[in-house]
């Protein structure tokens, strides 16, 4: 069974952390992953930096730019991760844009992910229909879960279709804006969380965008299986480097 599905079966609210590979320093990728696991994080999304990250807010965009300037590439990330399963056991997801994966070759990219022990991919700009018609067979052959995003504007019909073809969790974007930390959620977001919960989807939902502290984590996980923290953690790395990762995670739980 895929590690993501094993984790989703656990009787707990899940904390997923996003960070950009090769940030703040080019060789920090493995250290960050190992420290996150030691700190009790349940899943990690490894951001593959891209020059035009449409869904990302300024904090993550800046980290992507710095990682690219540091020399991070798809090939280097795979090289860094080649022995990751000797030290890290939690589910690992690569989050990135479709263009770099196409340049690498979709089949080759998926095969490499399977080889080094990546469990899933999040590709915000890969259309659901395109995936289902052209790439699903490649993902399934390599035991990779493709995680789809929904937003408050996603129609119920589309949500049902995403739920139908999903084999892991659904990434539930808390708002229609780009990524970024918030201190709390408003009524509109709470109503959206409730609306999705009432749909009784087969796929668990994990909420991302705007989770930054214990309060927003608890608000999000009241309605969903887990929550994802990205910008707030990247800000921590910007300020502290790879030190005190455990202290950051302690404040969330």
Q: Which of 28, 42, 56, 119 is catalytic?
A: 56
Q: What is the distance between the alpha carbons of residues 135 and 224, in angstroms, rounded to a whole number?
A: 28
The neighbour count for residue 141, using CB atoms within 10 Å, is 12
**107 alpha carbon, distance to own chain's centre:** 21
Residues 6+ apart with CB under 8 A from 225: 8, 13, 14, 169, 204, 205, 206
Sheet containing 205-208: give its strands across: 145-147, 120-122, 92-95, 43-47, 14-20, 226-229, 205-208, 170-173, 149-150
Question: Is 56 among the residues known to form the active site?
Answer: yes
| Number of Cα atoms under 13 Å in the Cβ half of residue 214 | 7
Looking at 28, 35, 42, 45, which residue is catalytic?
Answer: 45
Reference 124, options 76, 224, 57; nearest CA is: 57
Q: Which two tokens stand for residue 224?
A: 């969903």
Rounded to a whole number of angstroms, the CA Rg of the chain reads 17
Cα gap 69→192, rounded to integer Å: 38
Q: Show which residues are catalytic.
A: 45, 56
């Amino acid at each position: 069974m895929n590690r993501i599905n094993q984790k989703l079966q656990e009787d707990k609210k899940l904390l997923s952390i996003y960070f950009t590979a090769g940030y703040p320093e080019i060789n920090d990728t493995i250290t960050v992953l190992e420290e996150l696991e030691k700190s009790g994080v349940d899943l990690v999304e490894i951001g593959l930096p891209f020059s035009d990250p449409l869904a990302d807010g300024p904090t993550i965009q800046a980290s992507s730019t710095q990682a690219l300037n540091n020399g991070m590439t798809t090939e280097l990330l795979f090289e860094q991760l080649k022995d990751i399963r000797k030290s890290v056991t939690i589910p690992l997801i690569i989050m990135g844009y479709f263009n770099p994966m196409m340049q690498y070759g979709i089949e080759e990219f998926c095969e490499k992910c399977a080889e080094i022990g990546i469990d899933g991919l999040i590709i915000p700009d890969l259309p659901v229909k395109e995936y289902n018609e052209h790439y699903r067979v490649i993902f399934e052959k390599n035991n990779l879960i493709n995680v789809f995003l929904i937003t408050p504007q996603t129609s119920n019909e589309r949500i049902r279709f995403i739920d139908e073809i999903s084999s892991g969790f659904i990434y539930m974007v808390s708002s229609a804006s780009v990524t970024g930390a918030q201190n709390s959620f408003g009524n509109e977001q709470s109503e959206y969380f409730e609306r999705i919960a009432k749909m009784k989807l087969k796929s668990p939902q994990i909420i991302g965008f705007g989770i930054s502290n214990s309060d927003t984590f608890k608000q999000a996980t009241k309605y969903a299986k887990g929550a994802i923290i990205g910008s707030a953690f990247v800000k921590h790395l910007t300020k502290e480097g790879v030190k005190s990762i455990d202290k950051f995670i302690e404040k969330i739980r």
